[in-house]
Amino acid sequence: MFKNHPRIGHMLGRAGWYFVTFLVAVTINFFLPRLGDANPVDTIMTKVSDGLDAASARAKEEAYLKEFNLVEVDASGQVKHDARGKPMRTSLGSQFINYLSMSLRGDLGGSILQHPKRVSEIIRTALPWTLALQLPTIVFGWLIGNLLGALAAYKRGVFDQVMYPIALLASAIPAFCFGMLLVYVLGIRLEWFPAVGGYDDGLTSEVSWAFFQSASYYYVLPFLSVFLIVVGGQAIGMRSMCIYELGTDYVKYAKLLGVKEHRILFYMFRNAMLPQLTGLALALGTMVGGALITEMIFSYPGLGMAVLTAIQGNDYPLISGCTLLITICVLFANFGVDVLVGLLDPRIRTAGQTGK
């Protein structure tokens, strides 16, 4: 169908694949938290049932069961009861369908811990912080790491001998260790930067110069801690990729032909970039995971922090809402990288023309 437009065909194929992945992710998100027998209503009831008599506690429980779609409801909105007078539980299957249709409408259910609040509301305030922290760190970290790696491979010598062990160490330090170290040394001991939080206590989250100034001051440490680790990991990958490219026939041939050095470097860089870009797609999940933990270390008001408080409070709807959103973001980022690969990879660009 897209014989003359291999790129469009490629992208449609990828989009279809990501849609399937998305469906699997949604399914996992629904079923995994429900493997255990923990139930959101029990968690709420242990908090609110103090001092209630049996009848009103039952009424309250039924109201919550209805709110979380855990019981069958008849046409008039009344909770159905079985022969013994117990509320009839909905089956897991119909809960799943309900969950799907609600998620598609952008409703991720109610939070238990922050009860009347909706999960989507909490996520909406947390998401911009996470995006603002992770997008630039990963993009710039990837670019700079690749440049450093290519340079190290090309120059070798002292530059390589200094850069390589440092990059190895940086990539081996777990994100949370590095974060804690920065908090302790730069934040608490030296007091150069605020150690925890996203902005000054007195301010509210709004679009203003004062808020922006405060937020960027708090941004430095979490940024550094994720950035340096990404740079280290990417530099190592690019370095070995470039060493491999340097040994290939086309580089040797170009050298024999007397092609200028910077041109060879450019060819080499371009060829090594592609696997690195694919590598980025594969590493994104790990990077985002590491950055989430970093958010917690810095009590950064993003999704990582939301997940942490949700776990501490057994807030299942909030946990699975956050994880679903993180997964969707990672899928989107991956799709972006795939599109980029499709644009850059000459094999995909010319795939349809070889038959002519």
224 binds another protein (CB under 8 A): no
Plot region of 222 (φ>0 → left; ψ -120 to 50 → alpha; else → beta): alpha
45-84 binders of another protein (CB under 8 A)? none
Query: Considering only 45-53, 95-103, 126-134, 316-324, which stretch makes contact with another protein by CB under 8 A?
Result: 316-324
User: What is the Cα–Cα distance from 356 to 349, expressed in whole angstroms?
Assistant: 14
14 binds another protein (CB under 8 A): no
Q: Which is nearer to another protein, 34 or 60 (CB)?
A: 34
Within 10 A of 306 (CB to CB), how many other CB atoms are there?
A: 28
258 three-class SS: coil
Q: 3-class secondary structure for 166-204?
A: HHHHHHHCCHHHHHHHHHHHHHHHCCCCCCCCCCCCCCC
Q: Which is nearer to another protein, 173 or 254 (CB)?
A: 173
Q: Decide: 316 and 112 in contact? Cβ < 8 Å.
A: yes
Cβ 304 to another protein, closest distance in Å?
A: 9
DSSP secondary structure, 16-27, as one string: HHHHHHHHHHHH
Among 317, 327, 341, 342, binds another protein (CB under 8 A): 327
User: What is the Cα–Cα distance from 185 to 190, expressed in whole angstroms?
Assistant: 6
Count of all residues that appear for the chain in the document: 356
Query: Considering only 25-33, 44-52, 62-70, 86-94, which stretch makes contact with another protein by CB under 8 A?
Result: 25-33
Strand-pairing partners, residue 79, are 73
User: What is the Cα–Cα distance from 244 to 33, expressed in whole angstroms?
Assistant: 45
Angle 91-96-98 from CA coordinates, rounded to 5°: 95
Tokens of 72: 């069958």
168 binds another protein (CB under 8 A): yes
Question: x-or-dash pattern for another protein, window 242-271, by CB under 8 A?
Answer: -xx--x------------------------
Residue indicated by tokens 């010319």 = 350
Cβ 16 to another protein, closest distance in Å?
A: 11
269-298 binders of another protein (CB under 8 A)? 281-282, 284-286, 288-290, 292-293, 296-297
Question: x-or-dash pattern for another protein, window 190-219, by CB under 8 A?
Answer: -----x------------------------
Backbone angles phi, psi at 195, to 5 degrees: -80, -40
330 binds another protein (CB under 8 A): yes
Cβ 244 to another protein, closest distance in Å?
A: 6
Binding site for another protein (CB under 8 A): 17-18, 20-21, 24-25, 28-29, 32-36, 38, 168-169, 171-174, 176-177, 180-181, 183-184, 188-189, 195, 236, 240, 243-244, 247, 281-282, 284-286, 288-290, 292-293, 296-297, 307-308, 311-312, 314, 316, 319-320, 323, 326-327, 330-331, 334
